[in-house]
Structure 1
Amino acid sequence: MELHDVWFVLIAVLWTGYFFLEGFDFGIGVLTKLLARNRAEKRVLINTIGPVWDGNEVWLLSAGGATFAAFPEWYATLFSGFYLPLLLILVCLILRGVAFEYRAKRPEEQWQRNWENAIFWTSLLPAFLWGVAFGNIVRGVKIDQDMEYVGSLWDLLNPYALLGGLVTLTLFTFHGTVFAALKTVGDIRVRARKLALGLGLVTAALALLFLLWTQIENGDGASLVALVVAVAALVAAIGANQAGREGWAFALSGLTIVAAVTMLFLTLFPNVMPSSLDDGWSLTVTNASSSPYTLKIMTWCAVIATPVVMLYQAWTYWVFRKRIGTQHIAEAAH
């Protein structure tokens, strides 16, 4: 296997890790309006991700940095062609971080409500837009012979990509709901399990349609296996949730995300950004990659740094593993 193939796999792993971790993160943000009934319950939901949300975003920084260094042509075409949606995602992530930090800085109800609304919208929009972006990457966009995107914003809003956005939004929200059931106690835990059933069924219908569409257009035997795993894991997650096995439900919803993202990258390879104008103009792991020397240096850095980062993040989740409820929220924080 060539180094550019290795780095394609590593970038796929980074995006998979990001969607697994930030998926329930976004889902919790959406649930602050769908599940929480009062300010104390909103605080409980926010506290379930309070110690880890910023660490989850490290995976996005790593994926973006790895793409820039390993596949500069891919990075340049992607970020110039998808400039507006990616800028909107970036603005949402910035405002979301500010909202988490500033919500409790003042006691006024209006102040806190405004930041809570910001958390909801800056969780919902990226969850939807990431699906739109990856749907377009897999489907193919208008790239010319100079490796430049020549389409418009409206070209990105096609039915396939919009369906992909709905899938990521519902899947991340379902992932967040089973995480909320896993991390909370009391009435909010019971309601999270009930909400997860309805969300899971909607997610299953949308995901099956999107993945089948992907398989028919670009799939092969390996992607079909990933599709079957994704659908089976989602159905099993719904069943585990109904049985009250919240740990299994969360693990299986995470497996759904892993299998679905794996399928997308399997259908993409060896392209990194297909051209819908001419197959010969597509960006591939070969024509979009950095020099072998650059990839070699990056590989050594990744071998040393990646295990340290993963161990630290795993330790963080272990430290903050306990369940919380409204009884753990101080009155002043309401």
Structure 2
Amino acid sequence: MHLHDFWFLLIAVLWTGYFFLEGFDFGIGVLTRLLARDRTERRVLINTIGPVWDGNEVWLITAAGATFAAFPDWYATLFSGFYLPLLAVLVCLIVRGVAFEYRHKRPGERWQRNWEHAIFWCSLLPAFLWGVAFADIVRGVPIGPDKNFSGDVLDLLGPYALLGGLFTLVLFTFHGAVFAALKTDGDIRHRARAQARWYGLAALALAVAFLAWTQAAYGNGRSLPATLVAVVALLAALALNRAGREGWAFALSGVTVVAVFATVFLALFPDVLPSSTDPAWSLTAAGSASSPYTLKIMTWVAGFATPLIVGYQAWTYWVFRKRISTRHIPAAH
């Protein structure tokens, strides 16, 4: 395996890990308006991700940084062509983080309500836009012979991309509902499990449509097994959620997220950003990579740092593994 192939694989793992973790994170944010009935229940949901949400976003920073260092041409074309949607995602992540920290600073009704709306919308919009972006990456965008993006924002909003955005939004909401059922207790736990059923059925319908389109138009022999795993895992997650096996249901919803993005990256390789203008102008892993020396140094650093980061984050989840409910929320002053 060449180093540029290894780094394509590692970047795919980093992005997939980000969506596995941030997926239920976004889902919880959406459910603060769809599942929670009052302010106390919203606080319960926010507390389920309170110790981990910022750690989840480290995966985004690492994935973007690794893309920049390992494939500078891919990074430059991608982040310039997708400038507006990625700027919207960045603003949402900033506002969302501020909302988590500032919501409880004042007891006023209007103050807390406004920050809760910010959490909802700044979770919903990135969950949708990430799906749009990665669907466009697989489909291809207008790229000229100079490796520059030659289209506009409307080129990113085709039917396939919008279907991808709707799919990730519903899938992340399902992932979040299963996580809420796993991490809460009492009435909100049972309602989370009930809502997860409906979100899961909607995600299944969208999964069949999106993954079938992906496989038929852009897929290959490598991506087909991942597509099948995604559908089977989603069906199993639905069945386990219905049976009340919340831990297994969450694990299988996570497998679904991983398999969906594995399908995306396997369908994409060996390209990193196809050109819809002329296939000869597509960016490939070999043609967009940094020098072999740079990739070699990065490999040594990644081999040392990655296990430490994964181990530390796993320990964090273990420490905060217990369920919470409304009885753990102190009465408001």
Which bin holds the TM-score, normalised by the shorter protein?
A: over 0.9
1:144 & 1:287 partners in 2: Cα distance? Answer: 15
> Which runs of at least 4 in structure 1 moved beyond 4 Å after TM superposition?
none
Mean CA deviation greater in 213-222 or 18-27: 213-222
2:83 & 2:222 partners in 1: Cα distance? Answer: 32
2:88 & 2:218 partners in 1: Cα distance? Answer: 29
2:153 & 2:128 partners in 1: Cα distance? Answer: 16
Equivalent positions of 1:201-220 (< 5 A) are: 201-220=201-220
Question: Residue 332 of structure 1 aligns to a residue in which SS?
Answer: coil
1:259 & 1:150 partners in 2: Cα distance? Answer: 31
One-letter identity of the residue aligned with 1:37: R
Matched, 1:41 2:41: yes
Structure 2 counterpart of 1:110: 110
Equivalent positions of 1:62-77 (< 5 A) are: 62-77=62-77
1:218 shift after superposition: 1.5
Equivalent positions of 1:1-334 (< 5 A) are: 1-332=1-332
Mean CA deviation greater in 218-227 or 8-17: 218-227
2:316 & 2:16 partners in 1: Cα distance? Answer: 19
1:220 & 1:162 partners in 2: Cα distance? Answer: 22
CA-based RMSD of the aligned residues comes to 0.6
1:298 shift after superposition: 0.3
1:310 shift after superposition: 0.4
One-letter identity of the residue aligned with 1:325: S
1:235 & 1:67 partners in 2: Cα distance? Answer: 33
Normalising by the residue count of structure 2, what TM-score does the alignment of the two structures yield? 0.99
Normalising by the residue count of structure 1, what TM-score does the alignment of the two structures yield? 0.99
One-letter identity of the residue aligned with 1:257: V
1:332 shift after superposition: 2.5
How many pairs does the alignment contain? Answer: 333
Mean CA deviation greater in 217-226 or 183-192: 217-226
One-letter identity of the residue aligned with 2:100: F
2:135 & 2:219 partners in 1: Cα distance? Answer: 14
2:207 & 2:113 partners in 1: Cα distance? Answer: 33
Q: Deviations over 1:185-220 (max 9, x none)?
A: 000000001101111000000011000000001212
1:162 shift after superposition: 0.2
1:183 shift after superposition: 0.2
1:231 & 1:156 partners in 2: Cα distance? Answer: 26
Question: Residue 272 of structure 2 aligns to a residue in which SS?
Answer: strand
Q: Name the % identity.
A: 72
2:172 & 2:135 partners in 1: Cα distance? Answer: 16
1:222 shift after superposition: 2.0
Q: Deviations over 1:130-187 (max 9, x none)?
A: 0000000000000000000000100100000000000100000000000000000000
1:246 & 1:9 partners in 2: Cα distance? Answer: 31
**Structure 2 unaligned blocks of 5 or more:** none
1:228 & 1:134 partners in 2: Cα distance? Answer: 19
